Amino acid sequence: MARQNALAKDRSKTKAGARADAPDSSRDQRRPRPTEGPARAAELERLIHERVRLAIVSALAVNDSLTFNDLKQLLNTTDGNLSVHARKLEEAQYVVCTKSFEGRTPKTEYRLTAAGRRALERYLGHMESVIRAARGG
């Protein structure tokens, strides 16, 4: 029994060592990133692809600006959910947030940046390519 355990340990060491030392290991082989065509279209803008963030960017693309409350109502989401997703877009510099007061009431307003508009255009182009490829065209 002890001999079987020792053999099993040796095999696992050999397998682990072979994986780590093998120059042509499948882990070391990275596919090159496609630069154009349908394969490139499959690489979606992950930041925008998330449902709420795509909705925020899309809403801002057709409006000069929207308040936090307008977006919340339009997207039918919670304060926390909208806040987290808007912050991610802000950190990526796709959205600009302006805070002010109307009387004593705080007002948070969002606007799409030029970088955000370009990212949305790229995303839409990728999606159109995916649709064309799926339809065989």
Phi, psi of 134 (to 5 degrees): -65, -30
- 């995916």: which residue's tokens? 130
Number of domains in the chain: 1
> Residue 135 sits in a domain of what CATH number?
1.10.10.10
* Average pLDDT for runs of 10 along the chain of length 137: 53 46 44 46 74 97 97 97 97 97 95 97 93 89
Q: Is residue 76 part of a domain?
A: yes
Q: Is residue 121 part of a domain?
A: yes
Q: Is residue 102 part of a domain?
A: yes
Q: How far apart are the first and last CA of the chain?
A: 63
pLDDT of residue 108: 97
Q: Is residue 58 part of a domain?
A: yes
- Per the structure, the complete domain to which residue 78 belongs is given by 45-137
Q: Is residue 119 part of a domain?
A: yes
pLDDT of residue 59: 98
pLDDT of residue 19: 43
Q: Which residue, 44, 48, 41, is CA-closest to 137? A: 41
Q: Is residue 18 part of a domain?
A: no
pLDDT of residue 56: 98
Q: Is residue 126 part of a domain?
A: yes
Q: Is 22 helix (H, G, I), strand (E, B) or coil?
A: coil
Task: Please check whether residue 8 is in contact with residue 96, taking contact to mean a CB–CB distance below 8 angstroms.
Answer: no
pLDDT of residue 45: 80
Q: Is residue 1 part of a domain?
A: no
pTM for the complete prediction? 0.68
